Structure 1
Amino acid sequence: MSWTSTFSTLLLLTNQSLNRTLSSSSIGKNTLMRYSQVVYVAALVILGVSGNIICAIVFCTKSLRRLRSSAYLFTLALIDAFFILDLLPGMLHTAFFSDLYRKIRFICYIQTYISFVASFVHIWMVLVFTAERFFAVNFPLKHM
């Protein structure tokens, strides 16, 4: 066996071993990324929905119910909760059901609809709340 053929064989074996190592480490990285994404989204959903529900309950209290801005903030909290809940099908798709959207297309349509409507209403609620606060600050007597 010549020196070049030995070197070529060694290089080929090293390359195959390296490819196996890289592919197994990329599988490990992919799995780790998937699980970290699931944990992150689950924490985001739990904290976000519970925080928005607490805000909605606070804005419904008797002392805040008579303020006009509380109605806007109550609606904003509910819309944000729906928008955050919209992340759940994607998390379930990533974590457990890899073909969730292919099997149940209705989920995809509903998720897209909720996402668009919630973001649209959210933007308008922020705009209305800002305009209401602008008039309350700049024209306090007319606003009452």
Structure 2
Amino acid sequence: MRSLLHADVAYLDNLENGTVSFANETCGIFDYYLELLHQYYIPVMIFVGLVGNFLSSVVFLTTYLKMRSSSYYLAALAIADFVFLVVLTIVNCSFNEIFEIFNKEGWCQFLVYISSVASILSVWLIVAFTVERFIAVQYPLRRPSICTVSRSKTTVCVLSVMAIISQCYVFWTAGVEKDESNADVCSLIREQLSVIKVINTIDCITTLIIPFVLIVVMNIMIARNLFRFSRKMRSNTIEESGTSEKSIDSKDSSRVSKIS
């Protein structure tokens, strides 16, 4: 955000001097609308997300839906997204210079850590929810014994603990650094770049590639099973209608023979 503000100041200075080219004017307009987007659109989306996720978690945990095992995955997902949006709100306020917390030592590591935990937990909760849907479609008779409320609670707790432990590296890889203008900025520590590259590779595999493959494969199998079930139901309906027509024809023929 500071770079955008600097771009606007430079643009106004050039405008006063009468030396603004068409390209600079276009960039100035683009920066202006980008700043408006950052100041108004993003906060509105964050507010809508906070309200939506809060209401979702309340509905899943306090209504009759709490009797369903899948509701606990969705409630935990809503809570994880809510926490992430709270951190994003704090970061956005720091960038807009409303209050400065994100770029302070200690707060920087803590907020990055919380957002990382919420992000990875959100991804694997979606995977867990997809697994439950897959079991319900693939093994409908075994679903009541496998997909229980207690098991879903245990799964959510295990995923939460794993997310909390797996993101502890943030406290050693993130910190407050000086930027070009000698201002304090929360960023990655330069001395840890070699370690960060390895961690980013592992993080990409565990939070993007593996969940993506699992979700796609299970959704394809769910769609295939639903298609097979639909086709089977359609064929059974056709057979039943044909059988009923034959029985009606036989009854009519028997009545005609009796009359004759």
Determine whether 1:133 maps to 2:133: yes
- Please give the alpha-carbon distance, in whole angstroms, between the structure 2 residues aligned to 1:28 and 1:127: 42
User: Residue 124 of structure 2 corresponds to which residue in structure 1?
Assistant: 124
User: Residue 7 of structure 1 corresponds to which residue in structure 2?
Assistant: none
- Name the aligned partner's letter for residue 55 of structure 2: I
Cα offset, 1:66, TM superposition: 0.7
Alpha-carbon spacing, 1:100–1:59, altered in 2? closer, same or farther (3 Å): closer
- Relative to structure 2, which stretch is displaced further, 119-128 or 57-66? 57-66
- Please give the alpha-carbon distance, in whole angstroms, between the structure 2 residues aligned to 1:99 and 1:82: 19
Checking the alignment, whether the CA contact within 8 Å between 1:38 and 1:94 is kept in structure 2 is: no
- Relative to structure 2, which stretch is displaced further, 25-34 or 67-76? 25-34
- Name the aligned partner's letter for residue 121 of structure 1: L
Output aligned runs, 1:1-144, within 5 Å: 17-19=18-20, 30=31, 33-96=34-97, 101-102=102-103, 104-144=104-144
Cα offset, 1:35, TM superposition: 3.9
Alpha-carbon spacing, 1:132–1:25, altered in 2? closer, same or farther (3 Å): closer
Identity rate of aligned residues, in percent? 27
* SS of structure 2 residue aligned to 1:86: helix
- Please give the alpha-carbon distance, in whole angstroms, between the structure 1 residues aligned to 2:53 and 2:87: 14
- Please give the alpha-carbon distance, in whole angstroms, between the structure 1 residues aligned to 2:80 and 2:135: 24
Larger radius of gyration: 2
- Please give the alpha-carbon distance, in whole angstroms, between the structure 1 residues aligned to 2:93 and 2:18: 35
- Name the aligned partner's letter for residue 109 of structure 2: Y
Alpha-carbon spacing, 1:141–1:29, altered in 2? closer, same or farther (3 Å): closer
Checking the alignment, whether the CA contact within 8 Å between 2:102 and 2:111 is kept in structure 1 is: no
- Name the aligned partner's letter for residue 139 of structure 2: F
- Structure 2 unaligned residues grouped into runs of 5+: 1-16, 145-260
Checking the alignment, whether the CA contact within 8 Å between 1:79 and 1:121 is kept in structure 2 is: yes
Checking the alignment, whether the CA contact within 8 Å between 1:35 and 1:95 is kept in structure 2 is: no
Alpha-carbon spacing, 1:17–1:58, altered in 2? closer, same or farther (3 Å): same
Cα offset, 1:80, TM superposition: 0.7
- Name the aligned partner's letter for residue 110 of structure 2: I
TM-score by length of 2: 0.43
